[in-house]
Each structure stands twice: as C-alpha cells, then as structure tokens.
C-alpha cells in the first residue's frame, strides 16, 4: 500500500485513523486525505500531522461527488488503496435533510468505486467504512452478525446500506478487492459536538441541559475510536477480500445510564456545579422518528479471524475522552460556532 486514498480524513474517525496509521501502525506508505470540509470536517484536527509527516501526508480539498475532481486525484497520486470514511453521518440531520445523505453516501461511493475499477491494474484494496445501523433495531436479545439482514430505519442508515450493497456488488461483478466493516457507536477525541457523548460532556461542563430522547432506554454498543482504528487496519492488512467484518465495543448501555455515568465522572474529576448534581441537568425531549431501540454487535468473526478485540473499557475510554474535551475547550468552542450553533438551537429549542 504505497498510495492510500483516505476520504473524509478531517472528520472524527478519519482524523483518528490517520493519526494512528502515521504515529503508531506499521503502515509505510503515504496518505492522500480527501475531504470536502463540510461543517463536521476540520483540517485543524490534523495540523500536527501535516507538519510532522509532510513527506507522507497530503491533503486535498475535494468532494467525492465531483467525479472529475476525484479522477484527477487517482491519476495524480497513482492511488493503489482506498479507505472510504467520507459520509454524512448524523441521523437527526438525515431526517431533516436527507438529500445530502443520498448524494454523498451513495453517489460519492459509486464515483469512488468507478474510479477504482478504472484503475484495477494497480488496486490493492477498496475498504468501505460502514455502520451497525444498516441492520435496523434489535429486540431485547441477540446480536448483529455479518449475516444479519439489512433493515435500515433512517435516511442515514438506508444510504449506508445502499453503499454497502454497491461495494459488495463491485466485488462480485468485477472481482474488485474489497472489504467492508460495520462498526458500533464510536466515541473519543475530535468527535463533532452534535454527537451524543461530546454534546453531553460539553453541556455538563457548562451546566446546560442534557437532552435525552424519549425515555432514555434506547441501547447502544459503545466503541472507543482508537480501538476502531486498530480493527480497520487489521482488516485492511489481513481481511479476506470480499468479506464483511463487524467491529463492536462489547459495551451495551442504555442512553440514560450513559449520560448519568458522564455526569458522575465529571462530578468526580472537575469542579462541581453550585448546589446541584449534574444529573439534575438531564432533560427528556421528544423522541426522534424511527429511533432504533437497541444495537448490539457480535464481532467474533473479527476476533477469531484477525485477532482483534477492543482494549479500552467504557470507563477507561470515557475518562480519556472527558479529559480530552476538558483540555481542548478552545477547539470545541471554535467547532460549535456558526452552522452548528444554529442547528443545536433549532434541534433542542
């Protein structure tokens, strides 16, 4: 893998993956990071990488929906590997404005696959990052496996399901070397503050309301972002082409329990609020449409075939995450300005 095209590298998981590849992994090639820099993309996330790895890291501001622009990238850098993170990913936004999700997640993925197919003579791998949300909602028991039928319930998850199917089809039809990973909910440094965990951390620090959908009993499986990065790299190096791998955190938790744990950790490690516990900030808000009740991921295939398991417990990962947001308040303040501020005001008014 000499020339790795990584899409969406200025986003939350993409930026963490680039840091992991260049600082900690055995990857020896160069990374060409393509990002449109929408509201959730922030080149500041990789300022250190750009200065320290100038010989192995290249940034190009491009839109994956721009076929001609992406064609230039493939030609200019002799791309031999693709790791496709770029996606519109916030479920709430997909409910309000689904069109961007169809364009980026489906058409953008199609463009990349077509360009990879045009360069099959040098293509080593096309790895597609996806989500456990494509499987829909679980009952009280059971887990999502790689054989679980797709049943997406939001425009976001439907667009990701479509892109998964297209990637699989290119493997079967054109013998393209592909892998797909479906991961559970990530958390950790650099996550955009509209997502649940950073929103709760930052609001709790500032003594603001902590909005929890419905009755707060929706269950998610939580995965520390660096554990996800390690799993993706194992799949890219050693995964069987044409296969799909689940990546889970082995950490099921009700949303209300998650928020209460964040409150407890902040009360323990930071200055307490005057005359009240942070749990008193919890406010239940109207549930969002199509809100899946439970996700839980069986990652035994990834564990048994590739030797990967999550290393961080929820408590250890959450302590690291909270400390990062406390230490990077200026970053959070900059990110929360502009479009994001008006979105939150509208969403939770």
Active site residues: 132-133, 156
Instruction: State phi, psi for 36 to the nearest 5 degrees.
Output: -75, -15
Write the CB contacts of 23 (distance below 8 Å, at least 6 apart in sequence). none
Token couple for 215: 């009755």
The answer to whether the CB of 217 falls within 8 A of the CB of 254 is yes
Residue found under tokens 């329990």: 257
- CA 305/CA 202 separation, integer angstroms: 39
What is the chain's percent helix, strand, coil content, to nearest 5? 45, 15, 35
Residue 118 exposure: Cα atoms within 13 Å on the Cβ side: 15
The closest of 173, 90, 177, 89 to 128, measured between CA atoms, is 177
What DSSP assignment string belongs to 92-115?
A: HHHHH-THHHIIIIIIIHHHHHHH
- CA 52/CA 298 separation, integer angstroms: 38
- CA 174/CA 207 separation, integer angstroms: 55
The answer to whether the CB of 349 falls within 8 A of the CB of 285 is no
Measured CA distances, 60 to 37, 57, 68, 260 (Å): 10, 10, 14, 41
Neighbouring CB atoms inside 10 A of 149's CB total: 7
What is the biggest distance separating any 2 CA atoms in the chain, rounded to whole angstroms? 67
């Amino acid at each position: 893998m000499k020339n790795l095209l990584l899409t969406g590298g200025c986003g939350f998981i993409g930026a963490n993956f680039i840091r992991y590849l260049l600082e900690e992994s055995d990857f020896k090639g160069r990374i060409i990071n393509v990002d449109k820099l929408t509201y959730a993309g922030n080149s500041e996330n990789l300022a250190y990488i750009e200065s320290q790895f100038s010989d192995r890291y290249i940034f190009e501001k491009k839109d994956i929906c721009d076929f001609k622009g992406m064609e230039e990238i493939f030609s200019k850098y002799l791309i031999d590997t693709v790791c496709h993170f770029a996606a519109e990913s916030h479920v709430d936004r997909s409910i309000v404005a689904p069109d961007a999700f169809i364009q980026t997640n489906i058409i953008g993925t199609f463009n990349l696959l077509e360009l990879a197919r045009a360069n099959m003579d040098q293509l080593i791998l096309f790895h597609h990052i996806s989500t456990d949300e494509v499987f829909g909602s679980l009952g009280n028991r059971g887990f999502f496996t790689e054989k679980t039928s797709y049943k997406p319930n939001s425009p976001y998850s439907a667009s990701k399901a479509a892109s998964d199917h297209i990637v699989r089809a290119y493997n079967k039809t054109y013998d393209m070397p592909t892998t797909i990973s479906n991961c559970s909910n990530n958390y950790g440094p650099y996550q955009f503050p509209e997502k649940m965990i950073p929103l709760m951390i930052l609001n709790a620090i500032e003594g603001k309301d902590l909005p929890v959908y419905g009755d707060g009993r929706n269950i998610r499986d939580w995965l520390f972002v660096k554990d996800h990065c390690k799993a993706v790299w194992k799949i890219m190096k050693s995964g069987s082409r044409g296969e799909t791998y689940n990546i889970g955190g082995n950490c099921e938790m009700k949303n209300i329990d998650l928020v209460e744990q964040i409150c407890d950790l902040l009360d323990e490690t930071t200055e307490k609020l005057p005359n009240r516990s942070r749990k008193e900030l919890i406010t239940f808000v109207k549930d969002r449409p199509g809100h899946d009740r439970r996700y839980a991921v069986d990652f035994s295939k990834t564990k048994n075939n590739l030797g990967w398991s999550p290393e961080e417990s929820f408590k250890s990962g959450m302590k690291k995450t909270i400390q990062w947001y406390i230490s990077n308040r200026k970053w959070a303040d900059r990110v929360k300005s502009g479009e994001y501020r008006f979105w939150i005001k509208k969403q939770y008014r």
